[in-house]
Each structure stands twice: as C-alpha cells, then as structure tokens.
Structure 1
Amino acid sequence: MRALPAVKDLTEQQQRGWCCVWCRAPLGVGLGTDLGQQRVTPTTGATYLWFPRECVNATACAGRDKAVAR
C-alpha cells in the first residue's frame, strides 16, 4: 500500500471517505476500499480523525489520478 497523502492536501469529501483519496472519484455506500481510520494531531487545534477510502479498481483509479494531476 502506498503512503497516504497529507490530509491538509485533501478535500473534505476525500477526508470523509466520500471520494477516493487518490483520484477524487465519488465512492458510493459500500464501494471503495477502506484504508482505516487515521488520526491527525495538528500543531495547533484539536486532534481529529479522518477516514480515507480508495477505488476498488486500481488501474482505473491511476488513470483518473494522472488526469487530476494535469
């Protein structure tokens, strides 16, 4: 498994697991792969949790990820 991106670089939808953490594709209920609950302790403010998920089809996800990066 590749290292997760920095939470500060993600949208709220990606942080909540509504969209893929890599390519931003929407993930419906029961779709996607759960990457586990993550805890963030910022230098200021309260600790919080985020819940990343990724697409099930890694090949399609990688193609969309490259398109987002352009």
Structure 2
Amino acid sequence: MTTRALPPVTTLTEAQQRGWACVWCRTALGIGLGDNLGEQRVTPATGAAYTWFPRQCPDRPACQAREGA
C-alpha cells in the first residue's frame, strides 16, 4: 500500500487513528473509501495497549498536494 513510515499515532487526531480521515492530509474518508494501511498495535510506556486503523486517500497526488498546503 504505502512505502512511507506511518506518523507517530500520538500526533494524529482521533479521526485519523480510527480511519475516518486520511493519515496524511486529514481529509475525511467515507465508508468504503480510502486505502486501508492495516491494523496497527501500540503499546505506550504507560497505560493499556491499543489498536489503530490508519487509511489514506485513494488519490495520492491530490493527497500529497493537500498535505503540502
């Protein structure tokens, strides 16, 4: 899917962590839209481990343009 390293989960919004928004440009992604980047597991130094579900825009050039803006 992507060759880029995912950003640290602590820098992302709840919508980005849940796959409701693009992990790169924050654009809202509707049901069935976007590319699934796989289930990610995080074990923080303190607190309980949790899972997050990043997705990215299907139109990568447009996503990169929004991300750079």
Residue of structure 1 aligned with 2:24, choices 22, 25, 42: 22
How high is the TM-score relative to the length of structure 1? 0.95
Q: Which residue of 2 aligns with 1:38?
A: 40
Q: Which residue of 2 aligns with 1:48?
A: 50
Please state whether the residue corresponding to 1:64 is helix, strand or coil: helix
Please state whether the residue corresponding to 1:44 is helix, strand or coil: coil
Deviation at 1:6, TM superposition (A): 0.2
Moved over 6 A (4+): none
Count residues in correspondence: 67
Amino-acid identity (%): 64
Deviation at 1:51, TM superposition (A): 0.1
Gaps of 5+ in 1: none
Alignment RMSD (CA, Å): 0.3
Gaps of 5+ in 2: none
